[in-house]
Structure formats: structure tokens, C-alpha cells
Amino acid sequence: MRKIVGGKLHGIRVTEANLEYHGSITLDPDHCEAAGILPLEFVEIWNKNSGARLSTYVILGQRGSHCCILNGAAARTCQPGDELIICSSIYVEGEQIADLSPAVLTFDSANNVVERLRYSVRQDEAGRYHFAILDESGSRLPIPLASRASPKRAS
């Protein structure tokens, strides 16, 4: 079995950090449903502001609230306004990868969904994998790649 991205909330902002609640992350059910993230599912959280990485489980907040509340110990790792990447995982057999199309939502500073993307993997006749990021219409988007230009040498 391989651990694969199940769904992702990319760039969602922390709306509150509640140290006194007994744990978890509270998210808007609309965002979770659109990304395929389930209540009580464990997710990995990566804080783009601080670099903190943690794991906790999801509880659902008020629908339409755009909330992203870190609770309990997780509240120490994030401040309101911090930009997060929240990723769920699924386990699949390697050959099942081509059957998946995980959702990726991107957000503005008010936690409105800006883009609804999909990851896509296919395997060609030679067994090589091909990865694509697709927009809502199914069009391929550019994938950021390292520059192939050789570094300039100091003279």
C-alpha cells in the first residue's frame, strides 16, 4: 500500500487558535466536502508562515463560516492569519494511482475558494507515470519545474 494525497486545502488562513479546546482542527464543512476530507479524518498541516508541521483530526464547524481553527496543542503552532496547507491521505495499491483524482482547493485571504483543481496521474504503455494538474474545465496547468539553466559562475 502507498500513502497518497487524498485531498488538499492549499493556502487556507487560520481564523482562530483555541488552546483551551481539547484538540483537533475545526474546518468549514463546505471546504471539507469539496476536498473530500471527512470528519474525524487525520490530516497533516503545514504552516507556510512558520514552517511548523503537525497532524491532528478534523471536526466540522459552522457551514459557510470559512473557519480554520486550531485547537488544543495545535493552537500553539499557528496564529490567526497564518497560511496553511492541509492535506488528507489515502492508502492505495500502486496500480490504483491512475484511478484517483484528488481535489485541491486554493484560497484567498478571506478563505474563499479561488481555484478547484485536480491532480491526475496516468501510466503510458511503457509503464511510465505522467502527472498533471487540471483546472475545473479539465485543462492542464503548468507544473513548476526547476530551471534547467546552468548557474552563473562568479568571475
Query: For the domain bounded by 2-134, which CATH number is listed?
Result: 2.40.40.20
Q: Are the C-beta atoms of residues 135 and 117 closer than 8 Å to each other?
A: yes
Is the predicted pLDDT of residue 147 greater than 70, yes or no? no
pLDDT band at residue 144 under the 50/70/90 scheme: confident
Average pLDDT (28-37) is 98
Q: Can you tell me whether residue 118 is helix, strand or coil?
A: strand
- The residue with greater pLDDT, 19 or 22, is 19
134 vs 83: CA distance, rounded Å: 23
Q: Calculate what percentage of the chain has a pLDDT beyond 90.
A: 85
Q: Which residue has the cell 483524482?
A: 101
Q: Examine the pLDDT at 155 and tell me if it is beyond 90.
A: no
Three-state secondary structure call for residue 48: coil
Q: Which three cell numbers stand for residue 58?
A: 478534523
Neighbouring-strand partners of residue 119: 133
Residue 120 identity (one-letter amino acid): S
**Where along the chain do its domains lie?**
2-134
Type of residue numbered 34? A
pTM value is 0.89
Q: What is the pLDDT of residue 24?
A: 94
Residues marked active site are found at 24, 57
CA distances from 72 to 16, 22, 55, 95 (A): 11, 5, 12, 39
Spell out the SS3 assignment of 63-96.
Answer: CCCCCEEEEHHHHHHCCCCCEEEEEEEEEECHHH
Question: Of 135, 145, 102, whose CA–CA distance to 121 is shortest?
Answer: 102
Q: What is the pLDDT of residue 149?
A: 53
Report which of 57, 82, 84, 83 is spatially closest to residue 71, judged by C-alpha positions: 57
Task: Dump pLDDT digits (tens) for 76-94.
Answer: 999 999 999 999 999 999 7
Q: Is 11 helix (H, G, I), strand (E, B) or coil?
A: strand
